[in-house]
Amino acid sequence: MPGFEFFGEEERKEVNDVMETGILMRYGFDGPRKGTWKAIELEQAICERFGSKYAQLTSSGTTALTTAMAVLGIGAGDEVIMPCFTFVASFEAVLSVGAVPVLVDVDDTLTLNPLAVRGAVTPKTKCIMPVHMCGSMANLGELQAICKEHNLLLLEDACQSIGATYQGKALGTIGDAGTFSFDFVKTITCGEGGVVMTNSEDVYKKCDHYTDHGHDHAGVDRGADLHPFLGYNFRISELHAAVGLAQIRKLDTFLTIQKKNNKALRVYLEQIPEITFRAVPDEAGDSCTFLSWFLPTEELTRAVIAELKAQGILAGNFYWYDNNWHYIRKWDHLKNATSLNNLNDAQKQALLQLQTQDFSKSDHWLGRCISTAIGLTWTDEQLKEKGEKLQAVVKKVLSEKLVEA
């Protein structure tokens, strides 16, 4: 799954190019850098590979989301509808611009349930933010229709689904803006980094300024730059961009391997009638970073997880329902509005209401779901072993529970 599995001479070459100049910052120092501009090269490569008109690199996926919200005009008093199954960065970004995260249920796609989204729209809603979890996509057709009906922004958090597509278009390029994360465990990695993609020149220019303290980058003298508005230091470094530049050239290889291994592993689980699989709105567009599957009950799922742990083969199999980072159930700091800085009243009220909000429809799916990460370096023998072991564990648990019944 993660690009770091394929680190090699390509990454070393790009990093060494930067080290030879000694210029690690993406802006300025034009002479000493001797024409080496890795961040610019990576932004161009992103546009070419994913079909976006513009790309602005940032220091992380979180700062990419924060930047996108800020330049889209999302702020205090605005509500952003998002899924209750995501990574904590998604709601952190919403809170960082003063807006209110409105968490709603997911369905069997493990992404936003369009019916739940419709039910959450209010006069304060400014944006719908689907999070394309675990390599696959939200039902963008229905979400686009809701945005059009209510004149809302569509911001794609595609941080976990680099390379996935929907109806032939790359995730992250379909909404008003979209983001990727290039952290260490993403499909392609910079070590740390992110990007905002957009087809709007105005949004792009604002991203360019916002991520560098508001510098307008209009001239050749950085010290003489004007500052049209406030900004922050969300810059990526040349070293991180250099790693990403080597990685993006390998993306098609990564996707080919993932799809092959995902399909091969699925064959073992398909032989068990009790197992079903996540719904994928566009199966051809699945990046296949995970194989996500459901058991009939939460009890059986917990028993399978326990057996995988007992046999020492739990690694790479994720039970999100008990995960501290990805599901509303364990986000006590969010539900208690525990923050080192003061939140605004609207934020506090919305977060405290999460304590009693009913997420049983999401529990129905997450409580029965196991997501198996797909490795890039598995040999055929290793894949066969993994498939047989997973299959044996599930059959053992099902057999034992049948006897108990």
* Whether the predicted pLDDT of 383 surpasses 90: yes
* Whether the predicted pLDDT of 345 surpasses 90: yes
pLDDT band, residue 405 (cuts 50/70/90): low
Burial of 381 (0-12, 13-18, 19+ CB in 10 A): exposed
pLDDT in tens, 89-112: 999 999 999 999 999 999 999 999
Q: Percent of the chain having pLDDT more than 90? A: 97
Q: What angle do CA 190, 340, 68 make, to 5 degrees?
A: 40
pLDDT in tens, 346-381: 999 999 999 999 999 999 999 999 999 999 999 999
CATH number for 218: 3.40.640.10
* Whether the predicted pLDDT of 121 surpasses 60: yes
Query: What letter does residue 18 receive in the DSSP assignment?
Result: H
Give the residue from 250, 275, 295 where a domain finishes: 250
Same domain, yes or no: 96 and 205: yes
The strand ranges marked E within 246-289 are 276-277
Same domain, yes or no: 165 and 298: no
Contact 170, 52 (CB under 8 A): yes
Same domain, yes or no: 119 and 72: yes
Same domain, yes or no: 221 and 352: no
* Whether the predicted pLDDT of 178 surpasses 70: yes
Same domain, yes or no: 313 and 244: no
pLDDT band, residue 223 (cuts 50/70/90): confident
Residue, of 404 and 259, whose pLDDT is higher: 259
Domain range for 241 is 3-250
Give the residue from 250, 274, 298 where a domain finishes: 250
Give the residue from 250, 272, 290 where a domain finishes: 250
Nearest to 39 by CA among 225, 212, 178: 212
Structure tokens at 187: 């499909």
pTM over 0.95: yes
Same domain, yes or no: 219 and 300: no
pLDDT in tens, 19-74: 999 999 999 999 999 999 999 999 999 999 999 999 999 999 999 999 999 999 99
Whole-angstrom CA distances from 221 to 23, 29, 218, 225, 226 are 16, 10, 9, 7, 10
* Whether the predicted pLDDT of 226 surpasses 80: yes
Report residue 146: phi and psi, to 5°. -65, -45
Same domain, yes or no: 191 and 281: no
Same domain, yes or no: 61 and 80: yes
d(CA 397, CA 287): 30
Burial of 24 (0-12, 13-18, 19+ CB in 10 A): middle
CATH number for 310: 3.90.1150.10
Contact 56, 195 (CB under 8 A): yes
Torsion angle defined by CA atoms of residues 43, 45, 50 and 52, in that order, rounded to the nearest 10 degrees: 40
pLDDT band, residue 1 (cuts 50/70/90): confident
